[in-house]
């Protein structure tokens, strides 16, 4: 039993020494890496100061040439990136302009079609009002001659402005109601012409 205990203590001592050795090696490795990193940081700080124009009094001609080359390369990269961003922005603006021009053309076309329909409707209302007034006062001083002239002038204006022919009708075209109104007006004009 005593031998077993002695062996256990000896093994524990050996393990402890081994652990201490491994820990020392690890610490030495960390220390070396820390020193390397500190040297790298110091070199980077020196390089940074030189690039910023500080502490260049101790630089040789070759070092100054190297710094100059670095600065020129950096400037070229910055300009290239700036040009790239500028071109991307220009492309975006051109696309936006094209979309806005297309939208503007569509709105203008819709407005023109709507305005023509509104103008045609207004002219038809005027024609109907004129017809009603002439029917209510047939013995008016203007008489049938005025009625004939009024119909012809207003109807011709309506046809010239809003009535599409079968070959070249506008995109909006006339609604069925507007076409019926035009046919009704044509009948009125024809009937009044027969009375003359």
Is pLDDT at 45 greater than 50 in this prediction?
yes
The span from the CA of 39 to the CA of 64, in Å, is 22
Q: Please give the pLDDT value at position 11.
A: 72
pLDDT in tens, 48-98: 888 787 877 778 888 888 888 988 999 999 999 999 999 999 999 999 999
Q: Please give the pLDDT value at position 64.
A: 86
Is pLDDT at 28 greater than 50 in this prediction?
yes
DSSP string, 121-136: HHHHHHHHHHHHHHHH
pLDDT in tens, 139-196: 554 444 444 555 555 455 545 544 444 444 444 454 555 555 555 556 555 555 544 4
Domain ranges of the chain: 1-55, 59-195
The span from the CA of 129 to the CA of 113, in Å, is 24
Q: Please give the pLDDT value at position 181.
A: 54
Per the structure block, which two tokens stand in for 179?
């076409």
Q: Please give the pLDDT value at position 170.
A: 42
Q: Please give the pLDDT value at position 105.
A: 95
Average pLDDT on 9-23 reads 70
pTM assigned to the model: 0.41
Q: Please give the pLDDT value at position 129.
A: 78
Q: What's 6's DSSP letter?
A: H
Q: Please give the pLDDT value at position 172.
A: 46
Per the structure block, which two tokens stand in for 65?
């040439």
pLDDT in tens, 86-140: 999 999 999 999 999 999 999 999 998 888 888 888 888 888 877 776 666 655 5
Q: Please give the pLDDT value at position 160.
A: 52
CB 37 within 8 A of CB 21: no
Helix boundaries (H) for the chain = 2-51, 61-136, 143-162, 176-195
């Amino acid at each position: 039993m005593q031998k077993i205990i002695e062996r256990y203590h000896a093994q524990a001592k050996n393990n402890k020494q081994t652990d201490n050795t491994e820990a020392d090696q690890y610490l030495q490795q960390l220390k070396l890496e820390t020193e390397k990193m500190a040297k790298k940081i110091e070199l980077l700080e020196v390089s940074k100061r030189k690039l910023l124009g500080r502490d260049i009094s101790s630089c040789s001609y070759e070092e100054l040439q190297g710094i100059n080359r670095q600065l020129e390369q950096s400037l070229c990269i910055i300009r290239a990136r700036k040009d790239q961003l500028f071109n991307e922005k220009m492309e975006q603006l051109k696309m936006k302009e094209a979309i806005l021009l297309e939208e503007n053309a569509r709105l203008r076309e819709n407005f023109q079609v709507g305005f023509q329909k509104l103008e045609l409707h207004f002219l038809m209302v005027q024609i109907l009002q004129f017809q009603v007034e002439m029917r209510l006062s047939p013995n008016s001083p203007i008489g049938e001659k005025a009625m004939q002239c009024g119909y012809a002038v207003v109807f011709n204006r309506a046809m010239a402005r809003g009535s599409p022919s079968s070959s070249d009708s506008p995109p909006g075209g006339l609604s069925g109601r507007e076409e019926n109104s035009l046919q009704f007006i044509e009948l009125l004009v024809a009937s009044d012409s027969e009375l003359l």
